Amino acid sequence: MDIISSIFLVIGGLFYALGGLGVFRMPDTFDRIQAGTKATTLGAFSLLLGALIAFPSWGLKLVLIAIFIMLSNPIGSSALAKATYRAFGGPKNLEQDDLNEFLGGKEYVD
């Protein structure tokens, strides 16, 4: 069980590293938000699963942490994207901007 737990912990660390790389390498803010949120969510779930396998007595706490992450990450990334849209407008390569009439967006400048 220690090997399986270690594998999930390493996978979680790799997702966090890839998320950081994605935030660094993506061309605009919206892509950076998406890369960071998706990778860190998967990384956190892998780390929590590894911890659950290593320490089964922590099960309830780890499940509550996972539920909190499932609820807070999408809300946080949506709030960041909405604030970015309001401050700078949508991406330049956007074909159809459905939010412009609701939020009063501007042309995006990175």
Residue type for position 30: F
Residue 55 counted as domain residue: yes
Looking at residue 91, its pLDDT comes to 75
Determine the structural domain holding residue 71 and report its residue range: 2-103
Number of neighbours of residue 35 by Cβ within 10 angstroms: 19
Residue 29 counted as domain residue: yes
Looking at residue 89, its pLDDT comes to 75
Residue 53 counted as domain residue: yes
* Number of domains composing the chain: 1
Residue 40 counted as domain residue: yes
Residue type for position 42: L
Residue 108 counted as domain residue: no
Give me the residues paired with residue 90 across strands: 107
Residue 109 counted as domain residue: no
Distance, in Å, from the CA atom of 51 to the CA atom of 35, rounded to the nearest integer, reads: 24
Q: Span 19-31, mean pLDDT?
A: 89
pLDDT digits (tens, 9 = 90+) for 82-100: 888 888 877 777 777 777 7
Distance, in Å, from the CA atom of 101 to the CA atom of 11, rounded to the nearest integer, reads: 42
- 90 phi-psi bin (left φ>0, alpha ψ -120 to 50, beta other): beta
Q: What pTM did the predictor assign? A: 0.80
Mean pLDDT of the chain: 87
